[in-house]
Amino acid sequence: MTTMRDFIRGLPKAELHLHLEGTLEPDMMLELAARNSMQAPFPDVEAAEKAYRFTDLQSFLDIYYRSTAVLVTEEDFRQLTLAYLQKAAAQNVRHAELFFDPQAHTARGVAFETVLRGIERAAEEAHRTLSVSTRLIMCVLRHLTEREGMRMLEEAVRWKRWITGIGLDSSERGNPPSKFRNLFRKAREEGFLLTAHAGEEGSAENVREALELLHLDRIDHGVHCMDDPQLVRELVRRAVPLTVCPLSNVKLGVFRSMQEHNLKAMLESGLMVTLNSDDPAYFGGYVNENFTAAAEALGLDFRQIATLAENSFRASSLNPVQKQLHLDELAGYARRCEACR
């Protein structure tokens, strides 16, 4: 008999909302600090894990940016990225679209090229040895100015052969999508896939503004769209993908518990929801742990879990042929599991 945990474990899937810097586990953080002759943000793994108790997005970001300071060399970024992709492959992630935050590093004197080359080396190795495909999405930090973001966009244009998309992350409060309207217009002209965090700590109005002003291909989080039924209908009509991260939402207080998460209601409303891990080193689980926690707390059935995986491939930046290959594999897997239930 196939249990839900077994089904999730073997489920082919894509991950579309994953911050590479958010995969920096405490043991690697300490290792890189020592290698780079730096003082670590925390004295040991236990102290780091104790510090990972957040009250909101900003309290998380304060620790997140402190921790990224240990990432200095091309090899650091290669090691970080490869460690995530190895975990992803072990959880049957076939394709991953990876966010990275170059401004968090260039502000410390680390060259954009250093960050990108390290990530790309790991991506090439994972494709060759793990059969995991990747795309890179460069995120702009919304608590900084649009002008600063434009400088990063100029770098992304130079490296367009490696960078597929432009995203927007960091503190949502006080930094509405309209702040980056010109940047996203320029990114759209350059042909980048466009995505932005909205409706995580911000309201449904932030989701609407991101959709209408930034002309996004995807919305990251977006859970507060459910506060506006008219917006939900519009998102369904346009089939706009939402990259939801349940463990992150609970850890940051967006929902008080997994049982209160609106993921199931989003699915039942017809929204194109995908399920992702966000910053797994900080939030207690990678993608399979997110699937399992949501399934058990919300009573998701096998069909709904399969739909989340289907949506992940449909919402990806893969070409139609690649998408169909993954969807065919997924359909075959679901049929085999159905026969065993």
Q: List pLDDT tens digits, range 254-300.
A: 999 999 999 999 999 999 999 999 999 999 999 999 999 999 999 99
Domain assignments of the chain as residue spans, ordered by start: 4-25+77-340
Angle made by CA atoms 149, 154, 156, in degrees to the nearest 5 = 90
pLDDT at 48: 86
pLDDT at 311: 98
Mean pLDDT of 140-150: 97
Give the CA count within 13 Å in the CB-facing half-sphere of 192: 33
Using an 8 Å Cβ cutoff, are 94 and 12 in contact?
Answer: yes
Mean pLDDT of 222-237: 98
Q: Per the CATH hierarchy, to which homologous superfamily does domain 4-25+77-340 belong?
A: Metal-dependent hydrolases (3.20.20.140)
Ordered DSSP codes for 293-337: HHHHHHT--HHHHHHHHHHHHHTSS--HHHHHHHHHHHHHHHHHH
Please pick, among 200, 201, 209, 310, the residue that the annotation labels catalytic: 200
> What is the C-alpha to C-alpha distance for residues 271 and 27, in angstroms, rounded to an integer?
38
11: pLDDT confidence band, cut at 50, 70 and 90?
Answer: very high
Mean pLDDT of 80-96: 98
Q: Is pLDDT at 341 greater than 80 in this prediction?
A: no
Q: Which one, of 325, 328, 330, lies nearest residue 308 by Cα?
A: 330
> What is the C-alpha to C-alpha distance for residues 183 and 149, in angstroms, rounded to an integer?
7
- Give the tokens for residue 171: 């503190």
For the stretch 180-219, pLDDT in tens is 999 999 999 999 999 999 999 999 999 999 999 999 999 9
124 is catalytic: no
Is pTM beyond 0.85? Reply is yes
Mean pLDDT of 34-51: 89
pLDDT at 49: 85
> What is the C-alpha to C-alpha distance for residues 281 and 60, in angstroms, rounded to an integer?
12
